[in-house]
């Protein structure tokens, strides 16, 4: 262990105090020649870490897994999951939870090394990660954070000085991920599947204390937990839909109980609006298509509710009834969150009954004419309809008249309405072709400047600055259809 207290490490490892069945003590596998590729300076400061010692050999050694900070208690978590609908026992196969950093605000945050070597849950894998997918997670997770969407974050990426074999030989890398926790729906499925109700209760109580302490004194805190998680997920997935984000692999082990977006594997952002959009190469049936995400969220939450049944009520039938009553509310909660966000995107401040049909009619026109999702709302914000393929389309022209009439019925000034739209319609998203351009430069040429420039443009997506304009353009036809891969 390193005792370099100058860095600011401040660990307390509550997860390691759970029953041993929930994890395996596991040190990262050391690597040959670690090199710091990128450090998230803003996030490091938030964590209470000091930049200079974090970037020297000792700090880089921690990011690489070659040194364990004082107070850390590395472990690999056990969990299960429905992967594309099929239940599997899983666990951290290529990640180690370094520990829980207590930050200056008192908040407890997980620090996890992703790509840090084999664990008891690796199932034949090498436990390693390639540079491209780790930089991809860095870019997308930081973009999501800037968009105001709850997400895990990326503190650092280091190369390992070692090659890994996938379809080709690739440079190895490790990402340091920061999360409210790594507790997933699949962790509850794992606990319930073991059949030990006392251990399940211990784990659920732990989760409540960590994420939802406000419900501890409720009459049925386990039912309250279900309600809280339903609300968080409905709000999160609505935010995804409102920016055109496609997670790509919404397995139950990739749904965090905290309500953060987690696991940026085959994710991507939609250009042309189409609810059937799928980017993941392994999602051959479109299970996790953009338009399916709200429904899969409900499906996953039903699996979460099932894991809580033994605690909801001693009578099995009554427990099922209670769970079903709560799950049945999910889609209404999602819809309210989505419509609230869509009103903001359209500059609508008050509520009228026809608002939903107004928004849905626009989406129908966008799909019919293959309009870009982000740029259409951007054009509406600044009333530059000619900037989209919809300019001059009769159906769109008629819709714009209806929209202006709706907005005009409000008391607020046109400046206030435009400001609302400007703060809810991003100028830029991490468009897939620009992300790939940045990754190719970094991985193939060792040139990080393309990624750094992209990250700067994404850091304030609602600025609508002239510097962001170049990142608003669509990919060339030769760059479609776009496909993403898990990077495992």
286-332 pLDDT per residue, tens: 899 999 999 999 999 999 999 999 999 999 999 999 999 999 999 99
In this prediction, residue 2 has a pLDDT band, given cuts at 50, 70 and 90, of: very low
The helix/strand/coil state of 389 is coil
The residue among 448, 118, 287 whose CA lies nearest residue 277 is 287
Given a contact cutoff of 8 angstroms between Cβ atoms, the answer to whether 246 and 321 are in contact is no
Please state, in angstroms and as integers, the Cα–Cα distance from residue 226 to each residue in 192, 204, 306, 322, 384, following that order. Answer: 15, 11, 10, 10, 44
In this prediction, residue 384 has a pLDDT band, given cuts at 50, 70 and 90, of: very high
Give the pairing of strands 153-165 and 86-91: unpaired
- Contacts by 391-399, CB closer than 8 A, 24 or more apart: 393/365, 393/369, 395/365, 395/368, 396/365, 396/369, 399/358, 399/361, 399/362, 399/365
Given a contact cutoff of 8 angstroms between Cβ atoms, the answer to whether 154 and 133 are in contact is no
The residue among 248, 237, 124, 255 whose CA lies nearest residue 187 is 255
The residue among 166, 181, 203 whose CA lies nearest residue 101 is 181
271 counts as catalytic: no
The residue among 162, 76, 90, 79 whose CA lies nearest residue 119 is 76
Nearest-angstrom CA–CA distance, 136 and 146: 15
Given a contact cutoff of 8 angstroms between Cβ atoms, the answer to whether 208 and 183 are in contact is no
196-216 pLDDT per residue, tens: 999 999 999 999 999 999 999
- Residue 279 has what pLDDT? 87
Nearest-angstrom CA–CA distance, 297 and 331: 9
- Residue 283 has what pLDDT? 85
- Residue 472 has what pLDDT? 92
- pLDDT of 3 above 50: no
| Residue among 110, 253, 263, 271 flagged as catalytic | 253
434-482 pLDDT per residue, tens: 999 999 999 999 999 999 999 999 999 999 999 999 999 988 876 666 6
Nearest-angstrom CA–CA distance, 255 and 422: 30
The residue among 325, 320, 336, 327 whose CA lies nearest residue 298 is 327
- Residue 476 has what pLDDT? 81
10 Å CB burial of residue 421 (0-12, 13-18, 19+) is buried
4-22 pLDDT per residue, tens: 568 999 999 999 999 999 9
């Amino acid at each position: 262990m390193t005792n370099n207290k100058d860095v600011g490490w401040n660990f307390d490892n509550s997860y390691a105090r759970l029953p041993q069945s929930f994890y395996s003590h596991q040190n990262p596998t050391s690597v040959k020649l670690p090199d710091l590729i990128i450090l998230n300076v803003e996030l490091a400061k938030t964590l209470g870490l000091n930049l200079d010692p974090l970037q020297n050999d000792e700090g880089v050694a921690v990011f690489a897994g070659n040194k364990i900070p004082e107070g850390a208690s590395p472990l690999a978590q056990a969990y299960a999951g429905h992967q594309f609908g099929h239940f599997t026992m899983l666990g951290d196969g290529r990640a180690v939870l370094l520990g829980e950093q207590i930050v200056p605000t008192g908040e407890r945050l997980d620090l996890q090394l992703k790509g840090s070597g084999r664990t008891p849950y690796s199932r034949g894998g090498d436990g390693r990660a390639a540079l491209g997918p780790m930089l991809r997670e860095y870019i997308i997770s930081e973009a999501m954070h800037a968009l105001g969407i709850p997400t895990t974050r990326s503190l650092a990426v280091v190369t390992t000085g070692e090659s890994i074999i996938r379809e080709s030989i690739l440079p190895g890398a490790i990402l340091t991920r920061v999360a409210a926790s790594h507790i997933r729906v699949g962790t509850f499925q794992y606990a319930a599947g073991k059949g030990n109700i006392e251990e399940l209760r211990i784990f659920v109580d732990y989760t409540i204390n960590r994420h939802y302490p406000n419900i501890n004194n409720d009459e049925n805190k386990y039912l309250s937990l279900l309600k809280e998680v339903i609300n968080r997920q409905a709000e999160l997935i609505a935010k995804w839909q409102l920016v055109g984000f496609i997670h790509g692999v919404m397995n139950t082990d990739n749904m965090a109980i905290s309500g953060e977006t987690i696991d940026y594997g085959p994710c991507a952002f939609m250009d042309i609006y189409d609810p059937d959009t799928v980017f993941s190469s392994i999602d051959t049936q479109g299970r996790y298509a953009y338009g399916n995400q709200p429904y899969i969220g409900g499906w996953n939450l039903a699996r979460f509710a099932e894991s809580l049944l033994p605690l909801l009520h001693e009578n099995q039938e009554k427990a099922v009834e209670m769970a079903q009553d709560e799950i049945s509310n999910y889609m209404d909660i999602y819809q309210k969150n989505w419509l609230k966000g869509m009103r903001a995107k359209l500059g609508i401040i008050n509520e009228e009954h026809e608002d939903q049909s107004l928004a849905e009619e626009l989406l129908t026109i966008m799909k019919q004419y293959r309009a870009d999702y982000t740029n259409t709302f951007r054009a509406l914000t600044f009333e530059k309809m000619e900037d989209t393929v919809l300019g001059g389309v009769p159906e769109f022209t008629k819709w714009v008249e209806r929209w202006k009439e709706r907005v005009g019925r409000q008391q607020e000034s046109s400046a206030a309405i435009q400001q609302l739209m400007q703060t809810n319609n991003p100028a830029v998203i991490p468009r897939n072709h620009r992300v790939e351009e940045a990754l190719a430069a970094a991985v193939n040429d060792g040139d990080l400047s393309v990624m750094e420039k992209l990250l700067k443009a994404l850091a304030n997506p609602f600025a609508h600055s002239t510097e962001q304009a170049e990142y608003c353009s669509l990919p060339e036809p030769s760059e479609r259809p776009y496909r993403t891969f898990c990077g495992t």
